[in-house]
Each structure stands twice: as C-alpha cells, then as structure tokens.
Amino acid sequence: MRRFFVAATAALVFPLIASAKPLITSSEDTLARVCLAQEDSAERLVSACSAALDAANLTGSQRVELLVALGDAQSWNNLDSQAEETYQRALSLDPRALDAWNGLGWILRGYGNEAEALAAFENSLAIDVSVQGLAGKATTARATGAIGGDESRQMLEAALAIDPKYIWAIREIAWSHFEESNFDMAMKRFNEALSHDADDVNALFGKGRSALKLSQNQVALDSLNAALAQAPNHYSARVYRIIALRDLDRNAQALRDADRLIADYPDRTSGYIEKGLALVALERRAEAIQTLSEADALLGPKNAILYWYADVLITDGQMSEALAVIDRGIQLDGVDHTDFLLKSYIALELNDYPMALQAAEASLETGVEDPWAHYYIAIAMVHGGSAKEGIERFNTAIQTGLPQDRVGAFARELISAGKYVEAAQLRLKY
C-alpha cells in the first residue's frame, strides 16, 4: 500500500536487465538526470542514483535530491533498511527535506512502527503541505487511534483536492469505510479508484471484499477474477474467490480451488478451512472433519483451524468433541471473542448453562460488544433461574444488533423454562 508504487508503476511493469543496455543511453542524459527522472526499473535506478552520488561537484541540495531519489528506488526494490538509512542521510544534510520525511514515514509504516511513522509525517507537514504528508498522517494517525475515521477521511480528501487522481488515497478512504462496515460507501470509493485505473489490483480486491459483504456474490467473483488476472499469486484474492464461489453455491469448483490453494501453500490455513467448508456444503461432512483434523496435525495448533474444526463438528452433531477442540483453541495466543462465543453456543447445546454464561462473558471481556454474547448470556440466565435478568440482557442484545428473528427463539427458551407470561409479554413488546 506504500505510495512509491504509484509513481513507479510504468517503470516496474517491464523491468530491464542491467546488462541489456548502459545506464546512460543518450548524450543528453547524465546519471543524475536518469536518477531523478525515475523512469527506469527499480534496480537500474538504484545503480544510477548510487553512481550519481559519487560525483565530486554536487551542491548540498543536489546531494539531498539524489539521496531522496535513491531512497525511493531502494524502497521500490524492497530494500527497506537501506532506504531508511538513505532517507536519514538526506535528513542529516537537510532536516527540512520534506520528501525525505515522507519517504521515511512510509518505510516506518511498512515496518508497523505507526507512532514513529506518524511523527515523520507530522514533521513533513510542519515544513509544507504535500499529498504524501497528508495521506501518511491520515492513515498512521487513524492506525494509532490519534484520530477517528471521519477526520482521517477529511485529510485524505484534502490530499485529493491537490491531486484528484491519487488512487492510493481513494483506496484508503474506501478501506476505512470497509473497516467501519460501511460497505456501500466502500464499494463506491473502490469503483472511483477503478475509474482511474481499471486494473488496480488493490481496488479490485477491495471491491470484491465489499461485494461479498453486500451479498453481491457475482460482482465479488468478477472483481476477484479481475484482480487475479493481474496478480495470479495474490493469496488473499484466491481465498476470497473461493468464498465467493461457495456463496454462489458453486461448491465443487470451490473445492477444486481450495485443493489448488493447499498445493501451492501447504503451510497456510485458509486452503484447508475453505476445503472443509466446501465439503460441508456438499454434504461430505466426514471428509470435512478429516480435512481439518489432518490440517491440525500437519500445521500444529492454529486458532483458525481449531475454530472451524469445532464448527464442522457442531454441524455434525458432535458437541462434546467440538467442545474439546474449541477448548484447545482458547488456550492459544490470538484467541478472540468468536472462540468464546462458539464455546458458549456449544455449552448451550449441551445444556451446561454455567459454562455458557462464563464463555459468553469472556467473549465480552475481549472488548468486542457482540450481540450474540448478550443473547447467549440471556438464555443461560433464563435457564439458570434468573428470568428477569435474562430478559433485560436479551433487550441489550436486540439494542446492540441481534436479528429480530431471535425474538421467537428466545420466547421458546422462556417457555421451556416455564416462563409463559414473560414469553407472551416478549412477543407483545417486539
């Protein structure tokens, strides 16, 4: 997602072998001019910029310009540690080198050092307003929690006011909407990015993800296919393509794709999970269980594998076995609220209401306000003899987004616990 690929795309599509031609091809060119033009392959630009910096007659400002260009080329060539050092050299010569601060910010962001990256972009903006400074601060400040989505988008829109075709900023706005579950707006902005570049892989991938969330499954498949046409080895696009196929009930094709994903990436979890889910959809549960069991043995304990392994066991009615599997998952690092929710559901199926209550409360303790956690707590309370508190918790579940079709299901729980009047009152209320 770094900005460098925007400027260098044309140069990087057809990389040239260094021995194929000399760095300087015209009597009008100099190494410095080749370096600063940034119109060659990343590898050749690194060579040109490095050689240009060896000249003895450079002014201070020329040296800073060349260092920044070298840093950019090193970054395009995935030489991030070298690029970081180069930007720092430029800043040691001129602490007001705006492009060096921006380049350093993107490198630090690539490392995941969001706080340090934010400081670099703020230093850039203190010198002058730039598209890169605005975009960098918008994304890193949102990532650190310093600003919210709305303020981040305002800064990105300001960058677009300077450069309306800055696709990276358009995509970042789209992803921020996606992260906030505003999928309609995310789709709109991904389409806007694609209006500038119909082959933009990130925008095609984002459109596919958004379309899946909007249940526009054919649109999702078409977008993901287009992304893979440009980037056949895009792992995540391959995974979500399988999901789109499953959502279109094309499970046999999804199964074939999952087998290919496993063959290409035997050490990653998604192929096994997608294969298991496709097999379940094809009513081949025993094979699905075997697939996930083998993945567990092959890859070692993994949260995602154990979650879906337990889920498939639930589908097959093997509740005790599912409980044993999800309990293993809960012991791992990386456990999240969904693991506890699945355990709570299993406990309800086993009529172990204290366990269901404890697991659902543990889900909420992760900081995620999931309506299903409140719903499971409500059921556990009703069957634990606390109908009044259970009804109050059910109200909380509805207020936080529980589907309305759960009203009838919860009324049945009240009736099974002998709370006929409360069940009738619930139906009248909702």
42 vs 334, which has greater pLDDT? 334
Rounded Cα–Cα distance for residues 226 and 370 (Å): 35
Rounded Cα–Cα distance for residues 351 and 380 (Å): 9
Asked whether 261 and 270 are in contact (CB, 8 A), the reply is: yes
Name the band, by pLDDT with cuts 50, 70 and 90, for residue 49: confident
Half-sphere exposure of 393 (CA within 13 A, CB side): 23
Name the band, by pLDDT with cuts 50, 70 and 90, for residue 58: confident
Type of residue at 220: A
pLDDT of 216 above 50: yes
Which pLDDT score, from 0 to 100, does residue 14 have? 29
Q: What is the mean pLDDT of residues 160-189?
A: 96
Task: Tell which residue, 275, 271, 208, 211, has the closest CA to residue 235.
Answer: 271
Where do we find the tokens 């990436």?
A: 265
pLDDT of 232 above 70: yes
Where do we find the tokens 């409500």?
A: 378
Rounded Cα–Cα distance for residues 262 and 270 (Å): 8
DSSP assignment string, 363-385: HHHTT---HHHHHHHHHHHHHTT
Rounded Cα–Cα distance for residues 64 and 62 (Å): 5
Rounded Cα–Cα distance for residues 349 and 197 (Å): 51
- For residue range 368-405, what is the model confidence (pLDDT) as tens digits? 999 999 999 999 999 999 999 999 999 999 999 999 99
Q: What is the mean pLDDT of residues 165-169?
A: 94
Rounded Cα–Cα distance for residues 292 and 274 (Å): 10
Asked whether 80 and 111 are in contact (CB, 8 A), the reply is: yes
Report the percent of the chain where pLDDT is more than 90.
Answer: 81
Which pLDDT score, from 0 to 100, does residue 182 have? 97
Which pLDDT score, from 0 to 100, does residue 34 have? 80
Rounded to 10°, the helix 167-179/201-213 angle is 20
373 contact partners, CB below 8 Å, separation of at least 6: 337, 340, 341, 344, 360, 361, 363, 364
Type of residue at 350: L
Report the percent of the chain where pLDDT is more than 70.
Answer: 93
162: enclosing H helix or E strand: helix 149-162
Which pLDDT score, from 0 to 100, does residue 41 have? 81
